[in-house]
Structures are given as structure tokens and as C-alpha cells.
């Protein structure tokens, strides 16, 4: 599948790509990431894709950048209700993650960030974010885009979509009727 990327007809002249990248929707993405994967991960209801990586060899062997990964933030409309009820939701979220990721091929991290921020002339304000990180436990060890990497992404996408549906169901209960 990764070898037959169905390229979109998008103007890519402004995109500057490194040798291991290619243009996609005016972004530079790792060259072996399939367009269909990118489409799926950019069309989730509750999660915004902020980073995706096929794993790189040009970093230390201990670097997390050696591992295929996908990183998301919870969409802004969902953040406040989730942070307000974070301690009530943590158990259900942990149980759902355990149910979805029964295999041991993926590390799942969820981080909640809350900040009080003041920049230059701006008023002091809150900034909240919930980050979801998914990393292959296996490190990339060769230049070739091995079958295991493709399998990991296909499996991860299926599971991330399942988590997205769970988050949407939880948000419907929080918003009492899915107003998002």
C-alpha cells in the first residue's frame, strides 16, 4: 500500500521538502506515509493530527524519533469539558486504552497541559491542551520501508479511530447531547 501513494492534485510549489519527505496538502510529510492514512488521521471528530513520523535513522539509536509515531491534540471544543472532569474520566479512559491496545506493539501516552500564560502586551490567560501520543515500540532499523511499519500504521489508524469514537461518545455525555 505505501508504495502506491495516491497523490492528491494539490499545488505543492510552496512546500520545501527534505530528502526523506514529500509534499502533501502544502505540508512536508515523510515520503512513505500513504495519503489514505493521512486522510483518515486528518478527519477524526475529536482529535487533530499534529505530528506523524515513519521513524528515522539519522538520529541516535535511543531517540524516540527512530520509532513510527502519530501525535494528536484534543480538538479545542472538547478540551474544557475534558479538563474540568479529568479526574472523573481518567479511569474510563485508561480502561478504554487497555481495551483498544491489547497488543504490546504500541506505547500510548496522554498528557494534559494547563498553563497560565502572559506574553508581552497580552492579558494573562489560560491555555489547556490534551496530547495523545502513539509510538511503535519497535525502532526503525533500515532505510527500507519494511512491511512491519506499514502494518503498525494500519493497526494504529484502526485503533486511533476507535479511540476517537470513544472520545466522541464521552463528549456526548459531557455535553448532554453532542453539541460539539
In a domain, 37, yes or no: yes
- The answer to whether residue 56 sits within a structural domain is yes
In a domain, 140, yes or no: yes
**Residue 7 forms part of a structural domain:** no
Range of the domain at 60: 17-174
Question: Sign of dihedral through CA atoms 30, 34, 35, 36?
Answer: negative
142 within domain boundaries: yes
User: How many domains, the chain?
Assistant: 1
Name the more confident of 10 and 87. 87
DSSP string, 20-69: TEEEETTEEEETTS-HHHHHHHTS-SSEEEEEEE---SSS-TT-GGGS-E
pTM for the whole thing? Answer: 0.84
Does residue 149 belong to any structural domain of this protein? yes
Least confident residue range of 59-63, 77-81, 158-162? 59-63
Q: What is the pLDDT of residue 100?
A: 95
Q: What is the pLDDT of residues 121-133, one digit of tens each?
A: 777 778 899 999 9
Amino acid at each position: 500500500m505505501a508504495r502506491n501513494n495516491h497523490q492528491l492534485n494539490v499545488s505543492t510549489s510552496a512546500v520545501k521538502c527534505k530528502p526523506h519527505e514529500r509534499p502533501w496538502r502544502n505540508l512536508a510529510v515523510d515520503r512513505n506515509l500513504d495519503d489514505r492514512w493521512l486522510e483518515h488521521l486528518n478527519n477524526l471528530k475529536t482529535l487533530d493530527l499534529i505530528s506523524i513520523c515513519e521513524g528515522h535513522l539519522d538520529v541516535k539509536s535511543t531517540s524516540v524519533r527512530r520509532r513510527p509515531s502519530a501525535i494528536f491534540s484534543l480538538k479545542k471544543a472538547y478540551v474544557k469539558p475534558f479538563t474540568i472532569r479529568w479526574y472523573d474520566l481518567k479511569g474510563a479512559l485508561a480502561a478504554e486504552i487497555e481495551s483498544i491496545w491489547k497488543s504490546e506493539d504500541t506505547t500510548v501516552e496522554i498528557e494534559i497541559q494547563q498553563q497560565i500564560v502572559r506574553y508581552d502586551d497580552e492579558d494573562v490567560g489560560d491555555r489547556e491542551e490534551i496530547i495523545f501520543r502513539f509510538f511503535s515500540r519497535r525502532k526503525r532499523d533500515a532505510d527500507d520501508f519494511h512491511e512491519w511499519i506499514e502494518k503498525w500504521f494500519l493497526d494504529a489508524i484502526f485503533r486511533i479511530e476507535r479511540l476517537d469514537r470513544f472520545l466522541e461518545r464521552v463528549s456526548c455525555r459531557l455535553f448532554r447531547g453532542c453539541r460539539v
